């Protein structure tokens, strides 16, 4: 568990620094449709849930494995331009695989925020990612850009 603690601390630090440094050109990252926003608290909370409930299968660095999909580079290609309610819906219905349907909506939103952040998406504002399906349906998973892909390595 020391490992997840370090992960959490490191993440929180990187989340905060990203917020300080990059808010300026956030809008350009958000792809078509409405700009995606999520809060630093959501990302930190998502990181915590991820470490406890997801990392055992999807890997501490979201790298996946031979028999488990990654939630990193290939993942962004699979989900690019997909309405975000579909991703949130998938996580809340199907994950964690051994106990599907057990995540409360705020945890699901936090996990989505965490996945977006880890994949180099910069929040447009500090507003939290909404939990309501109808509002999420207006947002799309941003297509990765070459620079953001390179910038994600923790």
Closer to another protein at the Cβ: 87 or 122? Answer: 87
Q: Kindly determine how many residues on this chain lie close enough to bind another protein according to the rule CB under 8 A.
A: 17
Which of 36, 84, 95, 110 touches ligand HEC (CB under 6 A)? 95
* Residue 126 · residue 40 · CB < 8 Å: yes
The answer for residues whose C-beta is within 8 angstroms of residue 48's C-beta and 6 or more apart is 4, 8
Q: Does 97 bind ligand HEC (CB under 6 A)?
A: yes
Backbone angles phi, psi at 72, to 5 degrees: -125, -115
The answer for residues whose C-beta is within 8 angstroms of residue 87's C-beta and 6 or more apart is 79, 112, 115, 141
Token pair for residue 98? 């051994």
Stretch that binds another protein, among 1-9, 15-23, 87-95, 143-151 (CB under 8 A): 87-95
Taking CB within 5 to 8 Å according to partner kind, which of another protein, ligand HEC, none is near residue 106? none
Stretch that binds another protein, among 13-21, 31-39, 89-97, 143-151 (CB under 8 A): 89-97
Q: Does 68 bind ligand HEC (CB under 6 A)?
A: yes
Helices 40-53 and 2-22 meet at what angle, rounded to 10?
160
Q: Does 90 bind another protein (CB under 8 A)?
A: yes
Stretch that binds another protein, among 10-18, 20-28, 93-101, 126-134 (CB under 8 A): 93-101
Look up residue 66 and give its DSSP letter: S
Reference 16, options 148, 111, 123; nearest CA is 123
Residue numbers of the site for another protein (CB under 8 A)? 56-57, 66-67, 69, 78-79, 82, 86-87, 90, 93-94, 97-100
């Amino acid at each position: 568990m020391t490992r997840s603690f370090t992960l959490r601390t490191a993440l929180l630090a990187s989340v905060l620094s990203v917020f300080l440094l990059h808010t300026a050109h956030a809008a350009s990252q958000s792809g078509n449709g409405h700009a995606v926003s999520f809060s630093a608290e959501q990302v930190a909370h998502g990181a915590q849930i991820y470490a406890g409930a997801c990392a055992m299968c999807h890997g501490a660095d979201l790298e996946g494995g031979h028999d488990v999909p990654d939630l990193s580079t290939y993942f962004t290609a699979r989900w690019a331009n997909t309405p975000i309610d579909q991703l949130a819906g998938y996580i809340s219905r199907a994950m964690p695989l051994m106990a599907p349907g057990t995540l409360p909506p705020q945890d699901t939103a936090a996990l989505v925020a965490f996945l977006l952040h880890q994949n180099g998406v910069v929040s447009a504002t500090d507003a939290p990612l909404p939990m309501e399906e109808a509002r999420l349906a207006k947002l799309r998973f941003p297509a990765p850009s070459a620079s953001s892909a390179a910038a994600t390595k923790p």
